[in-house]
Structure 1
Amino acid sequence: MNISVIVPLKNEEESLPELAAWIARVMQAHHFTYEVWMVDDGSTDDSWQVIQQLAAQNQHIKGIKFQRNYGKSAALNEGFNAAQGDVVITMDADLQDSPDEIPELYRMITEGKYDLVSGWKKKRYDNAFTKNLPSKLYNYTTTRMSGVKLHDMNCGLKAYRKKVVKSIEVYGEMHRYIPVIAKWNGFRNIGEKVVEHRARKYGTSKFGLERFINGFLDLASIMFIGKFGKRPMHLFGALGSLFFFIGFVIAFYLTIAKILYYQYNMTDRPIFYLALLAMIIGSQLFLTGFIGELVTRNAPERNSYLVEERMDCSEKE
């Protein structure tokens, strides 16, 4: 199968028939074999009934329905698990992503140069204050912290090699950072393509202001897991040692001062309590590192690594 299209959605009953017909036209025009996974993330309208009707009319359309709303990351993760195409393309259901971009995205992946191609909505039709400016700040911050240089990290229109989506897991609000997750999993050939951004035709946006707070926390989680997920002691142990050393140096200085100036009272100085606090925090961080190591070493996936290629010369004998 050439292409799997994954469409996460919530309350998009009006746009689904038009989107399905548009995808079908593009696929037929380019003679692609394909499947479309529409993942209903707890819709309260008739989205699931529409998906069932579309699936009855077109055997390439398939559906997944969540019992309740879990979020876009969960919907994408289920779609990734179900996808069978050599190239996996994700797009939003609100018709702001154009299916006409699919052939070029497919070509960029199959040429072998890229593992992942992210859309870049260079010209946007969103509200400048509530979406455009925060998105620019978010993209700048993510690029600086992760080293993944993309203009539009959160664009829903992306294309992946099948191996990429089968090697990553997204949850929480981490769909915004899929390129970062892919990079930490060794898929460094990440590109982007300027894509058409269309004005929303039906309904309203499903994302609120809380996405900015959640997004920042998820970025911090990804950066930590990517660097220290299998070696937490390297972070907590280093910080703990640093804090304990600072506290010890201060305490040693106060002790020497007490010996030289016998009338000197250590506990009368605020710096004495700073030394105690630093040593306590250092000890706690160090113990946190030990606990993290114990959890990591007992985790079933502790020695799970992505192997790109394997060669055994003995097989030739």
Structure 2
Amino acid sequence: MDLSIVIPLFNEDESLPELCAWIEKVMHANNYSYEIILVDDGSTDESWNVVEQLRSVNANIKGIKFQRNYGKSAALNEGFKAAQGDVIITMDADMQDSPDEIPELRKMIIEDGFDIVSGWKKKRYDNTLTKNIPSKLFNAAARQSSGIKLHDFNCGLKAYKKKVVKSIEVYGEMHRYIPVLAKWAGFRKIGEKVVEHRARKYGVTKFGWERFVNGFLDLFSITFVGKFGKRPMHFFGLWGTLAFLFGLTVFVYLTISKFFLDKTGMTQRPLFFFAILAMIIGVQLFLAGFIGELIARNSSERNSYLIEEKVGL
């Protein structure tokens, strides 16, 4: 199969018929074998009924329905599990992504050899204050922390090699950081393509200001886990040791000062309490790292890695 089009959706019953017809037109024009995987993330409108109707007239359309709303990451993860195409395209269901971009995205994967191609909505139709400015700040922080030079991490229109989506797990709200997850898994050829951003035709946006707060929190989380997820002692142990040594040094200084210098009582000096606090925090951090190391060592994924190929085995 040439292509799998994975589309997460939530309350998009108005746009689905037009979107699927447009995708079908592009597929036939390019003679692609394809499937459209519609993942209904617990919609409360008629979206699932529309999916069933579309399936009844086009066998290439497939549907997955969640019992309740789990979020875009869960929808993408299930879509990736079901995808069978050599190239997987993800796009949003609100028709702000253009299916006409699909042939060029596929070409960049098949002919140019990219593992991932991410869309870049260079010209947007969103409100500048509430979306553009926070989005620019978010993308700048993501570029700096991940080392991946993309302008638009959160663009829903992306293309992947099949091997990429079968090698990663998208969880929480990590759909924003799929390129980072792929980079961790060893897929480093990540490209970008300027894509059309269309004005919203149906419905309203499902995301508010909280997505930027959650996005930055997830960025800190994914950066930390990427660096220290399998070696937590390297972080907690280091800072715990430094804190303990700082407290111990101050405590020794206060002891020497009490008996040989100004004879001031240790407990009468604020530094004494800072020293005790630093040593307690240091011990707690060290123990956190030790416990984390025990968990990591006993995890079933402690030696999880991908083998690209073998010869003579």
> TM-score band, normalised by the shorter chain?
over 0.9
Structure 1 unmatched runs, 5+: none
Any residues of structure 2 matched to 1:8-87 within 5 Å, and which? 8-87=8-87
Question: For 1:291 and 1:91, how far apart are their aligned partners in 2?
Answer: 41
Counterpart position of 1:190: 190
Any residues of structure 2 matched to 1:89-104 within 5 Å, and which? 89-104=89-104
Runs of 4+ in 1 over 3 A off after TM superposition: none
Deviation at 1:112, TM superposition (A): 4.7
Secondary structure of 1:43's match?
Answer: coil
Any residues of structure 2 matched to 1:124-139 within 5 Å, and which? 124-139=124-139
Question: For 2:295 and 2:216, how far apart are their aligned partners in 1?
Answer: 25
Paired letter, 2:270: P
Deviation at 1:63, TM superposition (A): 0.2
Q: Contact 2:235–2:289 (CA<8 Å) still a contact in 1?
A: yes
The reply to whether residue 300 of structure 1 matches residue 300 of structure 2 is yes
Question: For 1:31 and 1:114, how far apart are their aligned partners in 2?
Answer: 22
Question: For 2:221 and 2:167, how far apart are their aligned partners in 1?
Answer: 18
Give deviations 1:42-65, integer Å, cap 9, x for gaps. 101000000000011101000000
Question: For 2:36 and 2:237, how far apart are their aligned partners in 1?
Answer: 47
| Number of residue pairs the alignment of both structures matches | 313
User: Could you state the TM-score of these two structures normalised by the residue count of structure 1?
Assistant: 0.97
Any residues of structure 2 matched to 1:163-178 within 5 Å, and which? 163-178=163-178
Moved more, 300-309 or 185-194: 300-309
Counterpart position of 2:152: 152
Deviation at 1:261, TM superposition (A): 2.7
Paired letter, 2:69: N
Question: For 1:220 and 1:263, how far apart are their aligned partners in 2?
Answer: 47
Give deviations 1:250-271, integer Å, cap 9, x for gaps. 1111111112136321111111
Counterpart position of 1:200: 200
Deviation at 1:197, TM superposition (A): 0.4
Secondary structure of 2:44's match?
Answer: coil
Question: For 2:166 and 2:297, how far apart are their aligned partners in 1?
Answer: 24
Paired letter, 2:181: I
Counterpart position of 2:123: 123
The reply to whether residue 244 of structure 1 matches residue 228 of structure 2 is no
Counterpart position of 1:6: 6
Question: For 1:77 and 1:145, how far apart are their aligned partners in 2?
Answer: 24
Counterpart position of 1:211: 211
User: Could you state the TM-score of these two structures normalised by the residue count of structure 2?
Assistant: 0.98
Question: For 2:284 and 2:111, how far apart are their aligned partners in 1?
Answer: 51
Deviation at 1:205, TM superposition (A): 0.2
Paired letter, 1:110: I
Q: Contact 2:7–2:92 (CA<8 Å) still a contact in 1?
A: yes
Moved more, 111-120 or 52-61: 111-120
Root-mean-square deviation (CA), in Å? 1.0
Give deviations 1:197-228, integer Å, cap 9, x for gaps. 00000000000111111111111111111111
Any residues of structure 2 matched to 1:271-290 within 5 Å, and which? 271-290=271-290
Secondary structure of 2:38's match?
Answer: strand
Deviation at 1:31, TM superposition (A): 0.7
Deviation at 1:171, TM superposition (A): 1.5
Secondary structure of 1:240's match?
Answer: helix
The reply to whether residue 254 of structure 1 matches residue 278 of structure 2 is no
Deviation at 1:187, TM superposition (A): 1.0
Q: Contact 2:257–2:263 (CA<8 Å) still a contact in 1?
A: no
Structure 2 unmatched runs, 5+: none
Paired letter, 1:86: D
Question: For 1:112 and 1:285, how far apart are their aligned partners in 2?
Answer: 47
Secondary structure of 2:32's match?
Answer: coil
Give deviations 1:14-66, integer Å, cap 9, x for gaps. 00000000000001111111111000001010000000000111010000000
Question: For 1:181 and 1:247, how far apart are their aligned partners in 2?
Answer: 39
Moved more, 147-156 or 251-260: 251-260
Question: For 1:164 and 1:249, how far apart are their aligned partners in 2?
Answer: 50
Moved more, 112-121 or 38-47: 112-121
